Structure 1
Amino acid sequence: MNTLNTVRIAVACSAALFAGLALADSPADPSQGAPSASQDVGGTPMTHSASGAPMALTHAQVYQDLLRSEQSGERDRLNKDIYHGN
């Protein structure tokens, strides 16, 4: 047998093997993957994105947190103790 034919057969067999492994890893029933829209109603707001990273706060949320920390005295305590500010 020719060496080129042997290489072609080996490449074809390995491609078929990898394709079979990829298909074996896919879910058997695609309808079980994501919940329907009716199941998304209500609940608590998401705190993490789909990738698992924490979601960013909005400008309004950050501003409200600043006002809350000023009123409770937490901002002054942090500036004095941690940041060694005025």
Structure 2
Amino acid sequence: MNTMNTVRIAVACTAAFFAGIAFADTSSDPSQGTPSASQDVGGMPMTNSAAGAPLSMSHAQVYQDLERSIKSGERDRLNNDLYHGN
């Protein structure tokens, strides 16, 4: 191996080492971050999306919603109008 390849490898390893140190210093713990806006003003954290639906739904809730949309015809209407067929 010639000297130039050795120098390139050493420089790459050094750069990777310092990049690793720099990223290790950044904190990813959200408990140490700034509080959210709702906590700043004494509000409650959001539990609903902007459309009013819960942010997280259980599998059973999703399935019930699917069954409701099938019975009401909403699913067929969306498939035909919005999604232009199956």
TM-score range, shorter chain: 0.3 to 0.5
Structure number with larger C-alpha Rg: 1
TM-score by length of 1: 0.43
TM-score by length of 2: 0.43
